[in-house]
Amino acid sequence: MSKTVFKASDISKSFPGVQALSSVDFDLKEGEVHALVGENGAGKSTLVSIVAGLQNPDSGLMQLDEQTYQPGGKADAEAHGIRMVMQELHLIPTLSVAENIFIERLPSRFGFINYNKLNLDTRQVMQRVGLGGIEPDVQVGRLGVGQQQMVEIAAGLSRRCRVLALDEPTASLTDREIDLLFTQIEKLKADGVGIIYISHRIEEVIEIADRVTVLRDGIVVFTGQTSDLSPGEIIFKMVGRDLQQEQLRHGSKSGPTALRVEGLTVGQKVQDVGFEVASGEILGVAGLMGSGRTETMRAIFGADKAERGRIYLYEANEPAEIRSPRDAVRNGIALLTEDRKEQGLLLNLAVRKNISLARLNDISRFGWLDLSREKAIASRYVDAMSVRCLSVEQTVGELSGGNQQKVVIAKWMYRDCDILIFDEPTRGIDVGAKFDIYHMLSDLAEKGKAIIFVSSDLKELMAVCDRIMVMSAGRVAETFERRKWSREKIMSAAFSGYMDI
């Protein structure tokens, strides 16, 4: 029996209007991975943020190595060897990778930062998470979300600790990066570090965790060994219904071409990309991180400038002029991005405002905002997406990570565009809500919308798409029809652009 490193007993925490945690018991052994799962808003982040000293519980006790542990803040928790990698990115985009990782302990001599040492140390840390290729002096803001997340994880792993909490570390990582992370986790386990692991990916939890605790509405409904459980059993405990039985897509009849892209080229990242998507169709876009998927979508949406390429809408003989997102929206194209903070939401505004901002004309009359209409519309979308909030008046920043993501989707749904591009829409969303989104995508397609669905989760692409286009090294490697694809075929297409001939 290995020793218990950390123990929390009878922890409760409430926010105005919500009981985020009720009498939660949780313990962690040396060298153990203990997963924490539950629907969006179940209280997972709240629990680990209490463990990591970011918040105080209303009541309850914590123990570290059998001593009373009552952190006075994040720094105090860290001094006790408890670290956390947070769900939301907390890097400073204008600083370099190296500065972000070593921000609290920059190596200096006589008051000057020793950049040689800094870069050397950073390279080592980054190599450990398999990102040796990223230059230490690159500005973090220039990296993609997945890479930023790896930097954040690298920063967490770079310091010794007793307890490490990872809050959805893999949400925007690709399979290869997840493998690298898991290798690191195995090493930490061997060193006796206890790891609290939050994830919405149930297969992953079964693979990496020794035990799992399921939270539902702030209450622990289950704690036990993962080896005894199937994914279906864990999901059932989380959401109280059986999702695997649900039938998603019945093969659709698609209509005329809605969007056709030709020869799209953006720097080195996107090269001569061409494809089309029809009304009523869901086109999946698969590929490794950095394969140019996001860049392609941003260029179509007019968010980035393309050097070359044409976009045709419907039957038009002339290409559409899309030079900015505004042009794109005017042409009925919406882009829902993976980076909800940067491009999706105004965190200090109410849910209602975030949704209605998408279409202010609609709810204003003679220049006056029609408040009751705004409220009614926002409530309708909040219900449709099962956003967990106190009311549409609550500030978006107070919602749990997954519920924020649902507000982004609600906002775009309200805008009612005919060509919808979703870039990793289910990142950080719980399994139950994921299925809601899949159903929603299906429904939208049935209604004749053309949908492009970018995802790193092959299983979800295979569940909902009519066709899957695979990008590799900035090009379209292959496109598969439903029933003609397999995981292996898609993966080999995804790697094809990186093979040396």
Ligand X SMILES: Nc1ncnc2c1ncn2[C@@H]1O[C@H](COP(=O)(O)OP(=O)(O)OP(=O)(O)O)[C@@H](O)[C@H]1O
Give residues in contact with ligand X (CB under 6 A). Answer: 15, 18, 20, 38, 40-46, 87, 388, 398-403, 430
- Binding residues for Mg ion, rule CB under 5 A, total 3
Query: Minimal distance in Å, beta carbon 18 to ligand X?
Result: 4
How many angstroms separate the CA atoms of 37 and 33, rounded?
Answer: 13
Query: Minimal distance in Å, beta carbon 294 to ligand X?
Result: 22
Residue number, 410 or 476, with CB nearest to ligand X: 410
Query: Minimal distance in Å, beta carbon 399 to Mg ion?
Result: 10
Query: Minimal distance in Å, beta carbon 376 to ligand X?
Result: 22
Residue 199 interacting partner from Mg ion, ligand X, none (CB closer than 5 to 8 Å by kind): none
Which segment (29-37, 81-89, 107-115, 344-352) binds Mg ion by CB under 5 A?
A: 81-89
Spatial strand order of the sheet with 82-85 comes to 82-85, 163-167, 194-198, 33-37, 211-216, 219-225
Residue 20 interacting partner from ligand X, Mg ion, none (CB closer than 5 to 8 Å by kind): ligand X
| Per-residue CA distances from 356 to 344, 433, 474, 482 (Å) | 13, 22, 35, 36
Beta bridge partners of 212: 35, 224
| Per-residue CA distances from 389 to 15, 16, 198, 379, 392 (Å) | 12, 11, 21, 10, 7
- Per the CB < 8 A criterion, the answer to whether 351 and 407 are in contact is yes
- Determine the length of the chain: 501
How many angstroms separate the CA atoms of 110 and 268, rounded?
Answer: 42
Query: Minimal distance in Å, beta carbon 88 to ligand X?
Result: 9
Pairing of strands 368-369, 308-313: unpaired
Residue 356 interacting partner from Mg ion, ligand X, none (CB closer than 5 to 8 Å by kind): none
Residue number, 165 or 476, with CB nearest to ligand X: 165
Residue number, 15 or 498, with CB nearest to ligand X: 15
Residue 172 interacting partner from Mg ion, ligand X, none (CB closer than 5 to 8 Å by kind): none
Nearest in space to 454 (alpha carbons), one of 442, 470, 434, 440 = 470
Residue number, 403 or 472, with CB nearest to ligand X: 403
Query: Minimal distance in Å, beta carbon 218 to Mg ion?
Result: 13
Burial class (CB in 10 A: 0-12, 13-18, 19+), 247: exposed
Beta bridge partners of 195: 33, 164
Site string for Mg ion, 41-70 (x = CB under 5 A): ----x-------------------------
How many angstroms separate the CA atoms of 2 and 495, rounded?
Answer: 42
Residue 467 interacting partner from Mg ion, ligand X, none (CB closer than 5 to 8 Å by kind): none
Any alpha helices (H) in 401-475, and if so which ranges? 401-415, 431-446, 458-464
Residue number, 399 or 421, with CB nearest to ligand X: 399
Nearest in space to 215 (alpha carbons), one of 6, 463, 3, 46 = 46
Residue number, 19 or 265, with CB nearest to ligand X: 19
The 3-class secondary structure across 28-45, one letter per residue, is: EECCCEEEEECCCCCCHH
Query: Minimal distance in Å, beta carbon 420 to Mg ion?
Result: 26
Asked if 169 touches Mg ion (CB under 5 A), the answer is no
Query: Minimal distance in Å, beta carbon 356 to ligand X?
Result: 20
How many angstroms separate the CA atoms of 101 and 119, rounded?
Answer: 10
Task: Enter the tokens of residue 430.
Answer: 């719980």
Query: Minimal distance in Å, beta carbon 19 to ligand X?
Result: 8
Residue number, 158 or 400, with CB nearest to ligand X: 400
Residue 472 interacting partner from Mg ion, ligand X, none (CB closer than 5 to 8 Å by kind): none
Residue 40 interacting partner from ligand X, Mg ion, none (CB closer than 5 to 8 Å by kind): ligand X
- Per the CB < 8 A criterion, the answer to whether 408 and 344 are in contact is yes
The 3-class secondary structure across 460-486, one letter per residue, is: HHHHHCCEEEEEECCEEEEEEECCCCC
φ, ψ (nearest 5 deg) of residue 194: -90, 135
Residue 403 interacting partner from ligand X, Mg ion, none (CB closer than 5 to 8 Å by kind): ligand X
Residue number, 121 or 430, with CB nearest to ligand X: 430
Query: Minimal distance in Å, beta carbon 36 to Mg ion?
Result: 9
Residue 146 interacting partner from Mg ion, ligand X, none (CB closer than 5 to 8 Å by kind): none
CA 293, 428, 30: angle at the middle one, nearest 5? Answer: 120
Residue number, 198 or 471, with CB nearest to ligand X: 198
Residue number, 37 or 157, with CB nearest to Mg ion: 37
Among 71, 401, 425, 474, binds Mg ion (CB under 5 A): 401
- Please report, as ranges, the residues that interact with Mg ion according to CB under 5 A: 45, 87, 401
